[in-house]
Homo-oligomer: A and B are copies of this chain.
C-alpha cells in the first residue's frame, strides 16, 4: 500500500506529464485553481505539489503568469585545453567562445583590491588576509545572466603586470597580457563543486529555487608558483563542463580544434 500524501500525487502526475512530453518544455502548467478541481484538494495542497516540482528544477513560476515547464538549452564548456596564445582571438576567451556559437556576449566588469579570503589565500599560497587584486565579471549570453567570474591575483604579481590592478578591461585577455609580461601559466588545477545558490548568487544569476550552481575554481601556476585563482559560478541549468584526458605521452594539449 503506497500511502502517498496528496501533494505528492499532484507532483507525480505532473512530473509524468512533463517526462512523457504531454507538458513540453516551455508549456504552461495548469493553474493552481485547475489543479484544485482536478485533484480535489485545497489550494495549499496543490501549491505544495507545484512547489516540489519547482525545487526539483522542473518548473518555475511567476506572479500573474503561472507556472512554466523549464526549457533547458545547455552550453558546453571545454575546460581541458589551455588558452591558446597563438590562436587569433576576438577579445577574451569567453567573448570568443560565445560569438563563435552565434550568440551575443555581454559583460560587466569591476576591479577591487582587497584582503584574500581563506580559500583564495590557500590557493594563491599567501597569508590569509594578504592583499589581492580581484577582477570580477558578470556575464550574459543574449542578455540571459550566465555566470559570474572572480579572478584573484597575488599582490606580488602587480609590480610585473601593473594593469592587473587598474580599473579598465584588458582587451586581449589577462592570460595573454600576463604571458606578454613574462608570466606564462603552464599548469592549471581545477576544482568543481555544486550547491544551491546563495541569495546573492540567485539574484545575480536570476535563478529561482531548484536550480543549482556549478562552482569552478581554477588555480593557474607559473612553474611552482600560483599566479591566479579564478572562481566561476555557472548556472547549473545552462552549463556543462567537458574535459578531454589523454594518456599519450609527448602530445601537446594546445592544438586548436
Residues on A lying within 8 angstroms of B by beta carbon are: 15, 52, 55-57, 74, 76, 79-80, 82, 185-199, 209-214, 236-237, 239-254
Contact A245 B209 (CB under 8 A): no
Contact B247 A187 (CB under 8 A): yes
Contact A193 B236 (CB under 8 A): yes
Of the residues B189, B198, B247, B249, contact of A56 by C-beta under 8 Å: B198
New A-B contacts (17) at CB < 8 Å, excluding given A82-B245, A195-B236: A15-B199, A57-B196, A80-B245, A186-B246, A187-B245, A187-B246, A187-B247, A188-B243, A189-B242, A189-B245, A190-B244, A192-B192, A193-B236, A194-B214, A196-B211, A196-B212, A246-B253
Across the interface, which residues of B come within 8 angstroms of A191, CB to CB? 76, 240-242
Across the interface, which residues of B come within 8 angstroms of A197, CB to CB? 56
Across the interface, which residues of B come within 8 angstroms of A76, CB to CB? 191
Q: Which residue of B lies closest to A80 (CB)?
A: B245
Q: Which residue of B lies closest to A11 (CB)?
A: B199
What's the nearest-Cβ distance from chain B to residue A227, in Å?
13
Across the interface, which residues of B come within 8 angstroms of A241, CB to CB? 191-193
What's the nearest-Cβ distance from chain B to residue A228, in Å?
14
Assembled-state Cα–Cα distance A52/B246 (Å): 43
What's the nearest-Cβ distance from chain B to residue A52, in Å?
8
Contact B186 A236 (CB under 8 A): no
Q: Known contacts A80-B243, A186-B246, A186-B247; is A194 also within 8 Å of B194 by CB? A: yes
Of the residues B52, B74, B190, B236, contact of A245 by C-beta under 8 Å: B190
Contact B55 A196 (CB under 8 A): yes
What's the nearest-Cβ distance from chain B to residue A203, in Å?
13
What's the nearest-Cβ distance from chain B to residue A107, in Å?
23
Contact B74 A188 (CB under 8 A): no
